Amino acid sequence: MDSPIVINEEQGSAESRGWFVTFEGGEGAGKTTQIARLARTLRSRGCDVVSTREPGGTPGADAIRSLVLSGAAEDLGTETEAILFAAARLDHIALVIRPALERGAIVLCDRFHDSTRVYQGLATGSDQEFLKIVEDAVLEDIRPSLTLMLDLPAEIGLARASARRQNAALPDRFEKETLALHEARRQGFLTIARSEPDRCVVIDALQEEDAVARSVLDAFDLRLPGCARKGADATS
Ligand code: T5A
């Protein structure tokens, strides 16, 4: 196995190491919007930024995305769905995330392992020990340096997601579930944030878009100062 990339406590201490930042939260919380904005800001500082998403990010993972979001795997049960997300993540890490981090890039990822912990885990009552074994096997040393949890009432996020769809498509496998379950997922993300405060920052996603972007950038600069400095050095 390759030598491990230490991405947690030694952020940016070696020039060749990148930074792995994940965005998490419920449906329509604004993750895609905010990743695009943060990527633009960081690129304007001269940073090498890779924006990606889960499930997906590679042709193989995108195929699994289509399968899972269509609902075709729903009857197989939550743990099987967790394995499908894990398979997509394994490919995504191998082909996109690890190579980008190894060359020193900032990887901004729309959902990652916390989504499995919440959607297939905390909010479902499935076997936590099983999910932990799968998570450790897939992630190995690839752990986010920073996770931005975009938080807002589930009802509002769902309304935003629905407005964006403009009736062009039906809600996917997860969007169509009950409001109570979406609220349970919101609480699941907040529970993770409380239990891992060194990694997670909760962002008030109810604010208007520019204010959310400022909160995201402030959290990024505060938590990953070496990363901001590296970008500034690159442009000077
Ligand atoms: N899943 C995923 C699992 O179950 N397990 C897993 O392990 C993983 C990785 C993915 C689904 O898969 C599940 C979770 C999901 O259900 P997806 O289509 O990728 O499905 O869905 P989401 O990740 O939820 O992405 P969405 O596109 O629905 O939401 P975003 O990205 O959070 O929101 P965004 O930025 O697209 O914004 C939604 C709308 O709101 C507006 C935007 O313009 C857009 O129209 N908006 C705002 N409006 C007002 N104020 C603001 N501050 C706004 N910010 C954005």
The answer as to whether 69 is a domain residue is yes
Q: Which atom of ligand 1 is nearest to the CA of 55?
A: 9
The answer as to whether 5 is a domain residue is no
Helix (H), strand (E), coil (C) string for the chain: CCCCCCCCCCCCCCCCCCEEEEEEECCCCCHHHHHHHHHHHHHHCCCCEEEEECCCCCHHHHHHHHHHHCCCCHHHCHHHHHHHHHHHHHHHHHHHHHHHHHCCCEEEEECCHHHHHHHHHHCCCCCHHHHHHHHHHHHCCCCCCEEEEEECCHHHHHHHHHHHHCCCCCCCCCCCCCHHHHHHHHHHHHHHHHHCCCCEEEEECCCCHHHHHHHHHHHHHHHCHHHHHHHHHHHC
Residue 225 CA, ligand 1 centroid: distance in Å:
27
Residue 30 CA, ligand 1 centroid: distance in Å:
6
Please indicate, yes or no, whether the overall pTM of this predicted structure exceeds 0.85. Answer: yes
* Residues in contact with 41: Cβ distance below 8 Å, sequence separation at least 6, in sequence order: 217
The pLDDT score that the predictor gives to residue 99 is: 97
The pLDDT score that the predictor gives to residue 191 is: 96
Q: Which atom of ligand 1 is nearest to the CA of 212?
A: 52
Q: What domain range includes position 120?
A: 23-235
Of 22, 23, 24, 32, the residue with max ligand 1 atoms within 8 A of its CB, to mutate for a pocket test, comes to: 32
The answer as to whether 132 is a domain residue is yes
The answer as to whether 107 is a domain residue is yes
Ligand 1 first shell, C-beta below 6 A: 25, 27-33, 54-55, 69, 85, 110-111, 115-116, 119-120, 160-161, 164, 174, 208-209, 212
The pLDDT score that the predictor gives to residue 231 is: 53
Angle 209-223/225-235 helices, nearest 10 degrees? Answer: 100
Structural domain total, the chain = 1
The answer as to whether 16 is a domain residue is no
Tokens of 197: 């405060």
Which residue's CA lies nearest to atom 36 of ligand 1?
32
The pLDDT score that the predictor gives to residue 228 is: 63
Taking Cα atoms as reference points, which of 7, 22, 32 lies closest to residue 104?
A: 7
Which residue's CA lies nearest to atom 55 of ligand 1?
30
The pLDDT score that the predictor gives to residue 179 is: 94
The pLDDT score that the predictor gives to residue 33 is: 98
**Segments of the chain with pLDDT less than 70:** 1-16, 166-168, 228-236
Rounded to 5 degrees, φ, ψ at 150 are -85, 115
**Chain centroid to CA 223:** 17
| Type of residue at 79 | E
What sign results for the dihedral spanned by CA atoms 166, 170, 171, 177? Answer: positive
The pLDDT score that the predictor gives to residue 1 is: 34
The pLDDT score that the predictor gives to residue 2 is: 38
Which residue's CA lies nearest to atom 5 of ligand 1?
116
Q: Which atom of ligand 1 is nearest to the CA of 209?
A: 52
The answer as to whether 140 is a domain residue is yes
Q: Which atom of ligand 1 is nearest to the CA of 35?
A: 35
CATH number at residue 101: 3.40.50.300
Rounded to 5 degrees, φ, ψ at 138 are -80, -45
The answer as to whether 195 is a domain residue is yes
The pLDDT score that the predictor gives to residue 5 is: 45
The pLDDT score that the predictor gives to residue 126 is: 85
The answer as to whether 56 is a domain residue is yes
The pLDDT score that the predictor gives to residue 208 is: 98
